[in-house]
Structure 1
Amino acid sequence: MNNSSNLHRSGLILDRRRFLGLSALGISAAALSACGGGPSTSGGGNSGSTVEQIDFSGVKPAKEITFWTSNPGDSIKVSTEIVDAFNSSQSDITVKLVTAGADYEEIAQKFQTAQTGGNLPDIINLSDVWWFRYKMNDQIIPLDSLFEALEFDTDDYVDSLLSDYLYDDAHWAVPWARSTPLFYYNLDHWKKAGLSDQGPQSWEEFGEWTTKLAESSGAKFAFQLPALAGYAGWTLQNNLWGWDSGWSKEESFDITCSSAESVEALSFLKDWVYKDKVAGVAGVDQIQDFAAGVASATVGSTGDLINAITSAKFDVGVAPLPAGPVESERICPTGGSGVGIPKDISPERQLAAGTFIKFLTEPEQAIKFSEATGYVPIRKSADPAAIVKKTPQAQVAIDQLANTRSQDYARVFLPGGDLEMANHMAAILTENKDVQAEMDSLKTALEKIYTDQVKPHI
């Protein structure tokens, strides 16, 4: 396939090679280097990539650097411990940890302000829906030459997590606080309803349990839908995929949110809220509601695992995301955040940043971070035994990694796409608006974002 055929069907489908390069063949940056010539940025001669890697030959790392984070999963304590361990392990580089926002949106706003106001960080915490716009705006660097210069063992990162940051055959971030959604449930309520202590295999099966739970548990709802502003676009991918649809077609910008399958999937959930009255919608945080006993079950991030268990006054059950009536494989989206390096800082600072990122994401630190927060281990060689011993429910998240799928392009590559999804889902689930009409409107909005803001830059 040549470059002229990469975009077709009104320009909405993007050739997989432009996004995933050689990763589909299982070829890592280290493997490419072994083949000669270092990390590839050419897409095998097909993608037309023009990514220019930075040459770090002869560069000496800066003495002091800053790491901006929003402390995902209440990670400030463990992140501080890791930074202190790095600073104590050597005397060449000192890292300063900076809380740059209360959430991903705040840190993104501060980073944008710093582009013109100066005072850029050296390492920044990048959420799944923000890193691509930084790349499009030429604000972060490709990391493959750093991988080579610092001898990162890229083969040891979980493949699906590292490949999430691959575009034009170059990596733009490294996985760090990575997560998947989980199905959380109240084991006490399950017992009262006469259910086994297992989670549901499918959403239809759970639908059969909701009446029993509503009648016996004493909770306000059998199920609490996630707070739409923070979770709708992410977690509902599972429901759409289970009905054989999605916000967009897999690995493309072909928007499919208004398909008959999508409408059926979302109508299924809407009926729980308005027809059966067994489900509610969280206003702020569904895990807080769940832990308080408001609902018998919910869906939340693996990053919420420790908080859910310690906050609840009941035994918390955790299960993989339920399947749909059509699809049962690869129905769980990846999520969370990684770390990247700004472009408009010196090579010395970039090299120092890369040195710390290598330390931050080594197996020992990966396990330490996961044990403290509930985020999934990002390294294959990281032994999860300590995590599982402390929190047995974490095994579910680890096992579920094999069933993950990179998120729909419409959510992670369209600036503001996630907000559009949240707004339209709010109209359906909190205002009882027509599903088909809202999904038609969402499709129009997402296609406009692609045409106006993304297509000119790819």
Structure 2
Amino acid sequence: MTLHLPPGARGRSQLSIPRAALDRRRFLGLAGLGVTAAALSACGGGPDTSGGGGKASSGVKQVDFSGVKPAKEITFWSTHPGNSGQVTAEIIKAFQAESGITVKLVQAGADYEELAQKFQTAQTSGDLPDVVNLSDVWWFRYMINGQIIPLDSAFEAAEVETDKYVESLLGDYNYNDATWAAPWARSTPLFYYNIDAFKKAGIDPEKALTSWDEFAAAAPDLVAKGGTKSAFQMPALAGYGGWVFQNLLWGYGGGWSKEESFDITCDSAESVAAIQFAQDAVYKDKWAGVAGTDQIQDFAAGVAAATMGSTGDLITTLTSAKFEVGVAPLLGGPEAAGGEDAPVCPTGGSGVAIPAEIPAERQLAAAQFIKFLTSPENTLKFAEATGYMPVRTDADPAALVKKTPQAKVAIDQLPATRPQDYARVFLPNGDIEMANALSDILTKKADPADSLGTLKTTLEDIYTSKVEPKL
């Protein structure tokens, strides 16, 4: 692996890692150089999960399940992503009938951060679950600390056909030639729009939803004639604004950081132009609003003609909106038009893992449950109930798409996704700092260049104080 300082670092030590040396899925190789979970805590500024104190090694010891019989009772901790409690309970009921293994479903937090705190506390108390739901930017902290097991031997013992998972989704959980979680509630952002409002305004979605420039051109008519308060509702910044805004940044040729590196680029001319566009939409051109709590709820209530949100919001939006809902791929920008050649859409969502400090018989039963939970039939059942994407290639989405045609957009968009910026997912509290900067710009009218310059300094300080010393 080659580590070097990029040109123009202005005296500040920045890490740049060539793609050939380290892609997103090999980032965890840094753990072998001493990066702890605390140094790598990522999305949402959640709890420090460094209590286990372990490091990733060059070799992974798999659990030996020879002669092990599965336990008769296990516990599954979930956040019920996408209001999935009911469909998960139905899947559990079917699993219990087929296997004879009882599964206790526990909502262990309102979001991934609350669940992470509970899971960390359980490392000391010993009251651990057998299957844990975890965000795609949380699993590596548990892995580094030795708090979850590599699933390969468990999957072999449970006869899980791992080659049937969508390769990119399963690959998100691969490190050191081992698999540490299974994809479950996986998503991308979608562009949601009010078909009725577009019709009233005489706007053709096929044209207006090809790029942000085209949408901005149509926005005044959407406001004047569409019957909604604004043309677009900006995502709630206190949530995962840093996740969704990568679309706009990438479309303008910018980003929170340079692709596949810690070279912070949030203050580049391209990034400033992207966020200036968003601010102008709110204050200067007055066609956009900013969600206080949840942009999807605002959209479904008819506040705006369009917004961006997770595919996991699809079914809730379709059932709660009083108008015809359309969905489209994320919009392109002046430098990246979207699609596989110039992707502007990040992946997201969550998977499931098995804790390390539980008996092998519970781990084996957990693997059998994960196999059932993510089977072709059940990934489709889950997708149909929530809007999350089917995670297996042998799951025929024809019936799903027939029932919910909008789901096809998310499925078709998957090959055109892009790995998230390191600054968001690998810097402790990086996402919070991004949300703070966006909040100043979009709700307090702060100067984008100044705020993003301050954000760069903050992110670089996080890197130099909490990450670089551990390399």
Q: TM-score, normalised by structure 2?
A: 0.86
Structure 1 residues 385 and 126, CA gap change in structure 2 (3 angstroms): same
Map of 1:239 onto structure 2: 248
Structure 1 residues 280 and 448, CA gap change in structure 2 (3 angstroms): same
Give the letter for the 1:236 counterpart: F
Map of 2:32 onto structure 1: none
Structure 1 residues 291 and 182, CA gap change in structure 2 (3 angstroms): same
Structure 2 residue corresponding to 1:421, chosen from 408, 431, 434: 434
Note the C-alpha offset of 1:169: 3.4
Note the C-alpha offset of 1:394: 1.0
Note the C-alpha offset of 1:111: 1.1
C-alpha separation in 1, matches of 2:156 and 2:433: 39
C-alpha separation in 2, matches of 1:95 and 1:78: 14
Correspondences of 1:242-281 after superposition (within 5 Å): 242-281=251-290
- Report Cα offsets for 1:297-324 as digits up to 9, x if no partner: 1011111111111111111111110111
Correspondences of 1:36-435 after superposition (within 5 Å): 49-91=58-100, 93-198=101-206, 200-328=209-337, 329-435=342-448
Q: Which SS does the other structure have where 1:284 is aligned? A: coil
Alignment check: 8 A CA contact 2:203 2:222 kept: no
C-alpha separation in 2, matches of 1:143 and 1:354: 8
C-alpha separation in 2, matches of 1:196 and 1:344: 56
Give the letter for the 1:402 counterpart: P
Correspondences of 1:430-449 after superposition (within 5 Å): 430-449=443-462
Give the letter for the 1:130 counterpart: W
RMSD after superposition: 2.1
Structure 1 residues 389 and 410, CA gap change in structure 2 (3 angstroms): same
Note the C-alpha offset of 1:197: 4.2
Structure 1 residues 148 and 448, CA gap change in structure 2 (3 angstroms): farther
Note the C-alpha offset of 1:342: 1.6
C-alpha separation in 1, matches of 2:288 and 2:387: 26
Q: Which SS does the other structure have where 1:155 is aligned? A: helix
Q: Which moved more, 1:308-317 or 1:434-443?
A: 434-443
Map of 2:15 onto structure 1: 12
Q: TM-score, normalised by structure 1?
A: 0.89
Give the letter for the 1:395 counterpart: K
Alignment check: 8 A CA contact 1:292 1:312 kept: yes
Alignment check: 8 A CA contact 1:411 1:417 kept: yes
Alignment check: 8 A CA contact 2:265 2:456 kept: yes
C-alpha separation in 1, matches of 2:251 and 2:278: 13
Note the C-alpha offset of 1:416: 1.9
Note the C-alpha offset of 1:117: 2.2
C-alpha separation in 2, matches of 1:265 and 1:389: 37
C-alpha separation in 2, matches of 1:256 and 1:336: 25
Q: Which SS does the other structure have where 2:378 is aligned? A: helix
Q: Which moved more, 1:313-322 or 1:145-154?
A: 145-154
Q: Which SS does the other structure have where 2:238 is aligned? A: helix
Give the letter for the 2:103 counterpart: V
C-alpha separation in 1, matches of 2:432 and 2:377: 36
Q: Which SS does the other structure have where 1:295 is aligned? A: coil
Alignment check: 8 A CA contact 1:136 1:457 kept: no
Alignment check: 8 A CA contact 1:160 1:405 kept: no
Note the C-alpha offset of 1:245: 2.0
Structure 1 residues 430 and 306, CA gap change in structure 2 (3 angstroms): same
Note the C-alpha offset of 1:21: 6.1
Note the C-alpha offset of 1:146: 2.3
Structure 1 residues 14 and 393, CA gap change in structure 2 (3 angstroms): same
C-alpha separation in 2, matches of 1:20 and 1:148: 26
Give the letter for the 1:327 counterpart: A
C-alpha separation in 1, matches of 2:108 and 2:413: 31
Map of 1:29 onto structure 2: none
C-alpha separation in 2, matches of 1:411 and 1:324: 21
C-alpha separation in 2, matches of 1:117 and 1:391: 44
Give the letter for the 2:171 counterpart: S
Alignment check: 8 A CA contact 1:68 1:123 kept: yes
- Report Cα offsets for 1:150-200 as digits up to 9, x if no partner: 333222211221122223333221110011111111111111111124351
Note the C-alpha offset of 1:85: 0.8
C-alpha separation in 2, matches of 1:266 and 1:252: 21
Q: Which SS does the other structure have where 2:232 is aligned? A: strand
Alignment check: 8 A CA contact 1:70 1:100 kept: yes
Note the C-alpha offset of 1:130: 2.1
Structure 1 residues 8 and 342, CA gap change in structure 2 (3 angstroms): farther
Q: Which SS does the other structure have where 2:297 is aligned? A: helix
Q: Which moved more, 1:397-406 or 1:367-376?
A: 397-406
Structure 1 residues 282 and 21, CA gap change in structure 2 (3 angstroms): closer
C-alpha separation in 2, matches of 1:172 and 1:55: 16
Alignment check: 8 A CA contact 2:26 2:176 kept: no
Q: Which SS does the other structure have where 2:257 is aligned? A: coil
Note the C-alpha offset of 1:404: 1.1
Structure 1 residues 22 and 115, CA gap change in structure 2 (3 angstroms): closer
C-alpha separation in 2, matches of 1:361 and 1:384: 14
Note the C-alpha offset of 1:278: 0.9
Alignment check: 8 A CA contact 2:80 2:107 kept: yes
Q: How many residues are treated as equivalent by the alignment? A: 431
Q: Which SS does the other structure have where 1:273 is aligned? A: helix
C-alpha separation in 2, matches of 1:56 and 1:218: 61
